[in-house]
Amino acid sequence: MERAVRHFQEELEALQVRLLEMGGLAEERVRAAIHGLVTRDSGVVEKVLRGDEPINELHIEIDNRCFTLLALHQPMATDLRAIVSAVKINTDLERVGDLAVNIAEAATRYAMHPPVKRLIDIPQMGDIAQAMLHDALDSFVRRDTRLAQQVLDQDDLLDGLKTQVFRELLTYMLHDPGTVEPALDLILISRHLERIGDHATNIAEDVIFMVSARDVRHHPPARS
């Protein structure tokens, strides 16, 4: 039997490799956008703004692979869940790529003003969001529902930081209206990072579904 499914399994593995490549690109772009923001390095930011093409190409390629696999192999059970999950993960990763661009745009505007404050929480949010993305993809490769669950648990941390960033920047804006514009960009960036965490969460939920056929979406109590 091991031999008998080789062809389809090869295609499935190729799909997984491409999805991981896409995940790596998305993760790297988030890292670069935050690095560009913190260091005020316009060159780095510019690269993020211009470099969306490889992700967009992979987005289409992966969708086509899934489409063809579904049409030609009529997968069942785990295989069916794996391909449906891949379609959804693909969309999440493409959105992460777009959010990295949004962060880079805000970083460009932010760099036109003097810094509002020393950035602490936002880089931390960036680290958490990247780690969540990384772990979500890792859980996908290893079919590891425990790791996927850890990603879900991290999301609250990111949401908490976003609220904290908002409250803190609000005090700056009230104190000095001149900071409103750059502070709003920081708030937007924290919002984008929180959304990246949401996409990582979606991926983790898909992994749990793919491995165990359990649907954990929209059921916070089931996370415990």
Binding region for other proteins (CB under 8 A)? 1, 3-8, 67-68, 71-74
The Cα-based distances of 172 to 45, 106, 188 in angstroms read 25, 18, 15
Nearer to other proteins, 7 or 142 (CB): 7
CB of 56 to other proteins, least distance (A): 19
Nearer to other proteins, 76 or 112 (CB): 76
Nearer to other proteins, 31 or 59 (CB): 59
Nearer to other proteins, 60 or 170 (CB): 60
SS (H, E, C) 95-140: HHHHHHHHHHHHHHHHCCCCCCCCCCHHHHHHHHHHHHHHHHHHHH
CB of 14 to other proteins, least distance (A): 8
CB of 4 to other proteins, least distance (A): 4
Number of H helices, E strands in the chain: 7, 0
Nearer to other proteins, 4 or 112 (CB): 4
Nearer to other proteins, 60 or 72 (CB): 72
Tally the residues of the chain: 224
CB of 67 to other proteins, least distance (A): 6
CB of 52 to other proteins, least distance (A): 24
Cα 34 to Cα 214: distance, rounded to the nearest angstrom: 35
Confirm if 95 and 62 have CB atoms less than 8 A apart: no
Q: What is the CA radius of gyration of the chain?
A: 19
CA atoms within 13 A on the CB side of 207: 27
CB of 11 to other proteins, least distance (A): 9
